[in-house]
Amino acid sequence: MPGKIACFTIAGLTVLGTISPTAAGGRAVECYEPVRSPAVYDTVYEDVMVSPPGQQVDYDPPIYGTRERVVMTVPAQVSYEVVPAVTRTVYHTVQVDDGGYSWEWRVIHGRRVLCKVRHQARYERVAETVVVQPERTRRIVIPAQYDRIAEEVLVRPEQRRVIDIPASYQTVARRVLVREGSSGWRRVHIPRHCQD
Protein backbone atom coordinates (compact mmCIF):
# COMPACT_ATOMS: atom_id res chain seq x y z
CA MET A 1 0.00 0.00 0.00
CA PRO A 2 2.77 2.58 0.75
CA GLY A 3 4.25 1.82 -2.65
CA LYS A 4 1.02 2.63 -4.34
CA ILE A 5 0.71 5.86 -2.36
CA ALA A 6 4.25 6.86 -3.34
CA CYS A 7 3.59 6.21 -7.03
CA PHE A 8 0.33 8.06 -6.87
CA THR A 9 1.96 10.92 -5.05
CA ILE A 10 4.77 11.26 -7.61
CA ALA A 11 2.26 11.20 -10.41
CA GLY A 12 0.18 13.84 -8.67
CA LEU A 13 3.18 16.08 -8.15
CA THR A 14 4.07 15.76 -11.77
CA VAL A 15 0.58 16.88 -12.70
CA LEU A 16 0.83 19.72 -10.22
CA GLY A 17 4.05 20.78 -11.85
CA THR A 18 2.30 21.16 -15.15
CA ILE A 19 -0.46 23.42 -13.81
CA SER A 20 -0.25 26.89 -15.05
CA PRO A 21 0.68 29.63 -12.62
CA THR A 22 -2.81 31.04 -12.81
CA ALA A 23 -4.28 27.80 -11.58
CA ALA A 24 -1.72 27.57 -8.79
CA GLY A 25 -3.55 30.18 -6.83
CA GLY A 26 -6.66 28.03 -6.62
CA ARG A 27 -7.93 26.09 -3.66
CA ALA A 28 -5.87 23.04 -2.68
CA VAL A 29 -7.88 19.92 -2.54
CA GLU A 30 -5.14 17.46 -1.41
CA CYS A 31 -1.90 18.06 0.47
CA TYR A 32 1.04 15.75 1.10
CA GLU A 33 4.19 16.06 3.14
CA PRO A 34 7.38 14.02 2.76
CA VAL A 35 7.99 11.41 5.42
CA ARG A 36 11.15 9.39 6.05
CA SER A 37 11.42 6.28 8.15
CA PRO A 38 14.98 5.75 9.47
CA ALA A 39 16.69 2.42 9.15
CA VAL A 40 16.29 0.13 12.16
CA TYR A 41 19.38 -1.52 13.59
CA ASP A 42 19.84 -4.06 16.31
CA THR A 43 22.86 -5.33 18.25
CA VAL A 44 23.58 -9.04 18.06
CA TYR A 45 26.20 -10.89 20.07
CA GLU A 46 28.11 -13.78 18.63
CA ASP A 47 31.15 -15.85 19.55
CA VAL A 48 34.05 -15.47 17.17
CA MET A 49 37.27 -17.52 17.16
CA VAL A 50 40.19 -15.45 18.39
CA SER A 51 42.82 -18.16 18.00
CA PRO A 52 42.48 -21.59 16.38
CA PRO A 53 43.25 -24.80 18.28
CA GLY A 54 46.87 -25.91 18.29
CA GLN A 55 49.59 -27.77 20.13
CA GLN A 56 52.43 -26.61 22.31
CA VAL A 57 55.57 -28.66 22.86
CA ASP A 58 56.98 -28.34 26.37
CA TYR A 59 60.67 -29.25 26.30
CA ASP A 60 62.88 -30.01 29.29
CA PRO A 61 66.57 -30.30 28.40
CA PRO A 62 68.60 -33.28 29.62
CA ILE A 63 70.31 -33.04 32.99
CA TYR A 64 73.93 -34.10 33.32
CA GLY A 65 76.02 -34.75 36.41
CA THR A 66 79.61 -35.58 37.26
CA ARG A 67 80.75 -38.97 38.49
CA GLU A 68 84.20 -40.01 39.63
CA ARG A 69 85.62 -43.38 38.79
CA VAL A 70 88.98 -45.12 38.94
CA VAL A 71 90.53 -45.97 35.60
CA MET A 72 93.76 -47.65 34.61
CA THR A 73 96.09 -45.09 33.09
CA VAL A 74 99.15 -47.33 32.64
CA PRO A 75 98.74 -51.11 32.32
CA ALA A 76 100.91 -53.55 34.20
CA GLN A 77 104.23 -54.31 32.56
CA VAL A 78 106.59 -57.26 32.80
CA SER A 79 110.30 -56.97 32.13
CA TYR A 80 113.26 -59.28 32.55
CA GLU A 81 116.78 -58.52 33.69
CA VAL A 82 119.88 -60.67 33.83
CA VAL A 83 121.40 -61.07 37.27
CA PRO A 84 125.10 -61.80 36.86
CA ALA A 85 126.67 -64.82 38.51
CA VAL A 86 128.10 -64.49 41.99
CA THR A 87 131.72 -65.64 42.12
CA ARG A 88 134.40 -66.04 44.78
CA THR A 89 138.15 -66.37 44.62
CA VAL A 90 139.51 -69.49 46.30
CA TYR A 91 143.21 -70.01 46.97
CA HIS A 92 144.77 -73.46 47.20
CA THR A 93 148.17 -75.08 46.84
CA VAL A 94 148.89 -77.12 43.78
CA GLN A 95 151.94 -79.18 42.78
CA VAL A 96 153.74 -77.39 40.05
CA ASP A 97 156.61 -79.83 39.63
CA ASP A 98 156.72 -83.37 40.97
CA GLY A 99 160.51 -83.28 41.43
CA GLY A 100 162.28 -86.44 40.23
CA TYR A 101 165.94 -87.01 39.22
CA SER A 102 168.34 -85.25 36.95
CA TRP A 103 172.02 -85.64 36.01
CA GLU A 104 174.40 -82.87 36.85
CA TRP A 105 178.13 -82.39 36.63
CA ARG A 106 179.61 -81.53 39.95
CA VAL A 107 183.12 -81.04 41.34
CA ILE A 108 183.52 -82.99 44.49
CA HIS A 109 186.91 -82.90 46.25
CA GLY A 110 188.55 -81.62 43.15
CA ARG A 111 187.11 -84.29 41.03
CA ARG A 112 184.55 -83.59 38.33
CA VAL A 113 181.90 -86.20 38.53
CA LEU A 114 178.45 -86.78 36.98
CA CYS A 115 175.90 -87.11 39.72
CA LYS A 116 172.32 -88.20 39.73
CA VAL A 117 170.48 -85.57 41.73
CA ARG A 118 167.08 -86.05 43.33
CA HIS A 119 164.72 -83.03 43.28
CA GLN A 120 161.79 -82.45 45.62
CA ALA A 121 158.35 -81.70 44.38
CA ARG A 122 157.51 -77.97 43.98
CA TYR A 123 154.25 -76.45 45.09
CA GLU A 124 152.67 -73.03 44.46
CA ARG A 125 149.65 -71.19 45.81
CA VAL A 126 147.20 -70.42 43.03
CA ALA A 127 143.91 -68.49 42.96
CA GLU A 128 140.77 -69.94 41.40
CA THR A 129 137.44 -68.21 40.74
CA VAL A 130 134.49 -70.37 41.64
CA VAL A 131 130.79 -69.64 40.92
CA VAL A 132 128.79 -69.32 44.10
CA GLN A 133 125.49 -68.51 42.34
CA PRO A 134 125.11 -68.91 38.60
CA GLU A 135 123.82 -66.22 36.28
CA ARG A 136 120.03 -66.03 36.21
CA THR A 137 117.15 -64.08 34.63
CA ARG A 138 114.85 -62.25 37.00
CA ARG A 139 111.24 -61.37 36.13
CA ILE A 140 110.21 -57.87 37.17
CA VAL A 141 106.53 -56.93 37.32
CA ILE A 142 105.67 -53.23 37.23
CA PRO A 143 102.14 -52.83 38.63
CA ALA A 144 99.46 -50.93 36.77
CA GLN A 145 98.81 -47.29 37.58
CA TYR A 146 95.32 -46.03 38.39
CA ASP A 147 93.88 -42.54 38.57
CA ARG A 148 90.56 -41.06 39.59
CA ILE A 149 88.85 -39.17 36.80
CA ALA A 150 85.61 -37.21 36.64
CA GLU A 151 83.26 -37.91 33.77
CA GLU A 152 79.96 -36.44 32.67
CA VAL A 153 76.97 -38.78 32.98
CA LEU A 154 73.34 -38.41 31.98
CA VAL A 155 71.13 -38.05 35.05
CA ARG A 156 67.82 -37.49 33.27
CA PRO A 157 67.18 -37.60 29.52
CA GLU A 158 65.37 -34.83 27.71
CA GLN A 159 61.60 -34.78 28.01
CA ARG A 160 59.04 -33.53 25.51
CA ARG A 161 55.37 -33.07 26.33
CA VAL A 162 52.74 -32.15 23.73
CA ILE A 163 50.00 -29.96 25.19
CA ASP A 164 46.77 -29.53 23.24
CA ILE A 165 45.58 -25.93 23.29
CA PRO A 166 41.84 -25.50 22.54
CA ALA A 167 40.56 -22.73 20.37
CA SER A 168 39.72 -19.50 22.16
CA TYR A 169 36.55 -17.56 21.48
CA GLN A 170 35.38 -14.07 22.33
CA THR A 171 31.89 -12.65 22.35
CA VAL A 172 31.66 -9.56 20.17
CA ALA A 173 28.76 -7.20 19.50
CA ARG A 174 27.75 -6.42 15.96
CA ARG A 175 25.13 -4.04 14.61
CA VAL A 176 22.85 -5.55 12.05
CA LEU A 177 20.25 -3.89 9.84
CA VAL A 178 16.78 -5.00 10.80
CA ARG A 179 14.84 -2.78 8.40
CA GLU A 180 16.10 -0.38 5.78
CA GLY A 181 15.05 3.25 5.94
CA SER A 182 12.35 4.44 3.54
CA SER A 183 10.95 7.74 2.27
CA GLY A 184 7.51 8.64 0.94
CA TRP A 185 4.60 10.99 1.08
CA ARG A 186 1.88 11.24 3.64
CA ARG A 187 -1.44 12.97 3.00
CA VAL A 188 -2.19 15.68 5.48
CA HIS A 189 -5.35 17.61 6.27
CA ILE A 190 -4.86 21.25 7.05
CA PRO A 191 -8.07 22.98 8.18
CA ARG A 192 -9.30 25.64 5.78
CA HIS A 193 -6.44 24.94 3.42
CA CYS A 194 -6.15 21.35 2.40
CA GLN A 195 -9.20 19.23 2.87
CA ASP A 196 -11.84 17.49 0.88
For 108-166, the three-class secondary structure string (H helix, E strand, C coil) is: ECCEEEEEEEEECCEEEEEEEEEEEECCEEEEEEECCEEEEEEEEEEEECCEEEEEEEC
- Does the residue 19 lie in any domain? no
Contact 32, 193 (CB under 8 A): no
- Does the residue 188 lie in any domain? no
pLDDT tens, residue by residue, 52-106: 998 888 888 999 989 888 989 899 999 999 999 999 999 888 888 888 888 888 8
- Does the residue 179 lie in any domain? no
Domain residue limits at 84: 77-142
- Does the residue 55 lie in any domain? no
The proportion of the chain whose per-residue pLDDT surpasses 90, expressed as a percent, equals 20
What's the total number of domains in the chain?
Answer: 1
Secondary structure letter of residue 191 according to DSSP: T
- Does the residue 89 lie in any domain? yes
